[in-house]
Structure formats: structure tokens, C-alpha cells
Amino acid sequence: MLSPATMKRFKHNDTQHLESLLSRSPQSLVVTEGVFSMDGDQAPLSQVFNLTNQYDSWLVVDDAHGIGVLGDKGAGSCSAAQVSPDILVVTFGKAFGLSGAAILCSSEVGDYLTQFARHHVYSTAMPPSQAVALSHACQMIQTQEWRREKLTELGALYAEQMNGVKGFIDTQTPIKPFLIGEAQAALSIAEELKRNLVWVTAIRPPTVPIGTARLRITLTANHSQKQVLQLTDSLLQAIERSNESVSKPSIESSFEFKERGSVNVTRSSSG
């Protein structure tokens, strides 16, 4: 942390735990994501907002994965929850298709950051070309509702195909994690999907806790229903082959066990 403030973490989306912390430390700065990047779930912003008001605290929301996708005209997670945080952080590297980010805040906070935020003070201003591109991207996000409608349709199709499959996690955002568990299995499945022309990232520890390695599937408005079906068919086949390889020890593994008695050929859940 760059700040000298005392940091205390509240459990994921646990508003009761948050309240217990705020009751002992009012007038705090509460920070949360709007949409969580690894699980695709959303913060209970309405409840968090009410708690910050109750305990005279500020709310900061990082809405990197919500802006452009959720809310009225793509205004983000806070718009969808109908809350106004004290500070809203948005990125231009996701729905906007560019780079950089912005902090939306009061003029007083903006003046303070301009003078004292070291990373901002010594940064380079946005080039005019990117400012123009950003303006056009913002206009597209606000006016092209069909993109968000298509995302909803593709998400429903994915859920319809994968519902009931072990590892499937239902989300209301374009981030669709598929839980594998073991890191090496996640890598193997991702590689097989790549051979089938489906690019999915394997997320492993330490990015996520041990035993929760996953595939991070992200849908976009540029995808088609045919491509989503290609994804689900390829994923189901890859999972089936992965399960078969785990249940049947290879000849090489059996040989190594006999020749090298000290070698443990049992796979670890940590990968």
C-alpha cells in the first residue's frame, strides 16, 4: 500500500463482517470492486453503500469490469445498484478497448490527487489521439445497447449448455469462470482448447487459492452463438479427456513407481 493508513480486509462480499469492522473503526475508507475479476460475481453495493453512510465513511468502487457492461447506458455497477460512491475508478482497457483509467470524484478530491498522488504527478498526460478515441468509445457505449443485449444472450446460451456440469459457475457478467481445481489439469485443458482454436486462460495459484485453479472465460459482443457452442463443446470434450487421464495411471507413471520406490506419483491438489 502507498497509504500509511491501517488496512483491514473484510471477507468477500460479507456485509456483516464489514459492519463489525466499521462499528469499531468508523470514518473509514471502504474499497471494493464492482465486479470481481476472477469469479465474475458482483459486490453487494447497495448494502455496502448504506453501511458507509451509517458509519460516516467513504466508499471507493473499482469498476474496471462493470463500466460499459452493466447499468443504464453502460454506466457500470454503481448505476445498476443505484448508488453514488465517493470515488469511482474506471478503466479504459476493458469495454472501452483502449488503455489508461480515470478517477471520478469531487473537485476537492481531484485537486488533492493532482497535487499529492505521486503516480499521477509524475505521469505523462493522455495524448490527444487517445482522448478522441476515448470520446468515440464512450459515445458507442452509451448508444449501442444492442451490444449489452447480445452479451446477455450469449451468457444465457453458455449457461444453458454448461449448467449442471461440475465446475460451472453461474454469473450475471461476461466473466465466466470454470472451476477445475488442480493447476496442471487447468493448464492441460487450456492447451487442448487452444488446439481447437478456443483461447481461454488458465488461472492458477498464487493468483487464486490452492485447489481453485480455473479457466477464465470472457464473452464479448463480438462473439457469435456458433463460437459459444464451439467453446462449450470443446470444453466438455477436454474435461472428459482430462478426467479419463486422471483415473487411469499411465504406463510411464507405473514404471517410475516400480523403479524408483521413493517417487510419489499421486497428483497433489495444489498442482
Question: Which one of 1.20.1440.230, 3.40.50.720, 3.90.1150.10, 3.40.1030.10 gives the CATH number of domain 146-259?
Answer: 3.90.1150.10
CATH number of the domain located at residue range(s) 15-143 in this protein:
3.40.640.10
Helix or strand holding residue 129 (H, E): helix 128-143
Q: Start-end ranges of CATH 3.40.640.10 in the chain?
A: 15-143
Q: Start-end ranges of CATH 3.90.1150.10 in the chain?
A: 146-259
Give Cβ neighbours of residue 127 (< 8 Å, ≥ 6 apart): none
Query: What is the pTM for the complete model shown?
Result: 0.85
pLDDT, tens digit only, all 271 positions of the chain: 677 889 999 999 999 999 999 999 999 999 999 999 999 999 999 999 999 999 999 999 999 999 999 999 999 999 999 999 999 999 999 999 999 999 999 999 999 999 999 888 888 889 999 999 999 999 999 999 999 999 999 999 999 999 999 999 999 999 999 999 999 999 999 999 999 999 999 999 999 999 999 999 999 999 999 999 999 999 999 999 988 776 555 444 333 433 333 333 333 344 3
d(CA 214, CA 200): 10
Does residue 4 have a cis peptide bond before it, meaning omega lies within 30 degrees of 0? no
d(CA 184, CA 192): 12
Helix or strand holding residue 139 (H, E): helix 128-143
Closest CA to 204 of 191, 185, 218, 176: 185
